[in-house]
C-alpha cells in the first residue's frame, strides 16, 4: 500500500510555544491501516539495516518503536526520562527544538556489538537522537540507523550526525 502519510499528520500553529508549528502524528496512530503501514515502512528499513534491537526514546519513541520490534521479532529497549528506570543507568543530556532534557538507559540493556536502530516520531534538531546514540555507544551497541515518521530538514539534524543513516517517511520544510 502506498500511503500519503502527510494526510494523517495534523499541523498545529504555535504549539507548545509561539512560532512553533507542531506536527501531530496521532492521526496515524488512530487509523489501524495507516499505523500498520507506517510501522511496516520503518520495520523494512530496520531489517535492511540489520537491526538486532530497537531503541525508542520516551514517550513517542515507545509508540513508534515497539510495533517495529514486534514485526521484526527483535527486542525493544526504552530510553527513558530521568529517575524512571529502577536499576543502574547511563544518562545523557540533550537540547530540544524547545527546552532540554536527559535520557537514561539501563546499563545492561544492550549487549556489546548489538546492531541498533533508533525509532521515534519526529527528528527536529536531532538532540534526542544524539543523546540516544551516546547512550547506546557507551553500552557497547552499534547504531546502524535511525527511523522517523517525520523529519524537519531545515533544523539540520542530519548535518549534526553525518555518520548516522537516517530514514523518514515525510519531511516538512
Ligand atoms: N512535533 C512533534 N514533536 C516535536 C516537534 C513537532 O513539530 N518539534 C519538536 N518536537
ipTM of the complex in this document: 0.90
pLDDT of residue 101: 86
| Best of 64, 94, 122 for a ligand 1 pocket test (most atoms within 8 Å of beta carbon) | 122
Distance from C-alpha of 144 to C-alpha of 38, rounded to nearest angstrom: 20
What residue ranges line ligand 1, CB within 6 angstroms?
22-23, 97, 122, 124
Q: Give the position, in ligand 1's atom list, of the atom nearest the Cα of 22.
A: 7
- pLDDT less than 50: residues of the chain: none
Distance from C-alpha of 10 to C-alpha of 21, rounded to nearest angstrom: 10
Helix (H) or strand (E) holding 29: helix 26-29
Q: Which CATH architecture has domain 5-171?
A: 3-Layer(aba) Sandwich (3.40)
Q: Whose CA is nearest to atom 3 of ligand 1?
A: 122
C-alpha cell at 166: 537516517
pLDDT of residue 11: 98
Amino acid at each position: 500500500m502506498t500511503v500519503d502519510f502527510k494526510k494523517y499528520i495534523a499541523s498545529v500553529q504555535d504549539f507548545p510555544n509561539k512560532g512553533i508549528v507542531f506536527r501531530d502524528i496521532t492521526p496515524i496512530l488512530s487509523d489501524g491501516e495507516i499505523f500498520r503501514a507506517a510501522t511496516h515502512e520503518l520495520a523494512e528499513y530496520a531489517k535492511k539495516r540489520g537491526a538486532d534491537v530497537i531503541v525508542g526514546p520516551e514517550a513517542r519513541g515507545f509508540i513508534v518503536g515497539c510495533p517495529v520490534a514486534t514485526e521484526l521479532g527483535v527486542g525493544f529497549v526504552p530510553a527513558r526520562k530521568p529517575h524512571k528506570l529502577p536499576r543502574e543507568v547511563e544518562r545523557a543530556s540533550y537540547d530540544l527544538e524547545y527546552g532540554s532534557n536527559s535520557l537514561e538507559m539501563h546499563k545492561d540493556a544492550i549487549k556489546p556489538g548489538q546492531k541498533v536502530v533508533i525509532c521515534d516520531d519526529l527528528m527536529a534538531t536531532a538532540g534526542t537522537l544524539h543523546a540516544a546514540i551516546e547512550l547506546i555507544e557507551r553500552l557497547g551497541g552499534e547504531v546502524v540507523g535511525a527511523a522517523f515518521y517525520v523529519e524537519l530538514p531545515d533544523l539540520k539534524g542530519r548535518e549534526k550526525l553525518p555518520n548516522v543513516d537516517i530514514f523518514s517517511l515525510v519531511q516538512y520544510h
